Amino acid sequence: MKLLYKDTTAAVLFVMPFVIGFSAFLIAPMFISLYYSFTDFNLLREPVWIGTANFQRMLTDTTLHNSFRATFYFAFTSVPLRIIFALIVAMLLLKSTRMMGVYRAIFYLPSILGSSVAVAILWRRMFFVTGTVNTLLERVGLPSDFAWLGHPHSAMWVLILMAVWQFGSSMLIFLASLKQIPQTYYEAAKIDGAGPVWTFFRITLPLITPAIFFNLVMQMINGFLAFNQAFLITQGHPMRATYFFTLYMYEMTFEFGSAGYSAAMAWAMFVMLALFTGFLFLTKRFWVYEGGFS
Q: What is the pLDDT of residues 105-114, one digit of tens each?
A: 787 777 777 6
pLDDT band at 144 (very low <50, low <70, confident <90, very high): confident
Residues in contact with 98: Cβ distance below 8 Å, sequence separation at least 6, in sequence order: none
Supply the pTM of this predicted model: 0.89
- For residue 3, pLDDT beyond 70: no
In a domain, 206, yes or no: yes
* CA–CA distance, 275 with 16 (Å, rounded to integer): 31
Q: Report which residue type is found at 182.
A: P
In a domain, 203, yes or no: yes
Residues in contact with 107: Cβ distance below 8 Å, sequence separation at least 6, in sequence order: 89, 93, 167, 168, 171
Query: Which domain, by its residues, includes 107?
Result: 60-287
- For residue 75, pLDDT beyond 90: yes
In a domain, 33, yes or no: no
CATH of residue 178's domain is 1.10.3720.10
In a domain, 171, yes or no: yes
In a domain, 39, yes or no: no
pLDDT band at 188 (very low <50, low <70, confident <90, very high): very high
In a domain, 135, yes or no: yes
Q: How many domains does the chain have?
A: 1
Q: What is the structure's pLDDT at 4?
A: 58
In a domain, 23, yes or no: no
- For residue 205, pLDDT beyond 80: yes
In a domain, 232, yes or no: yes
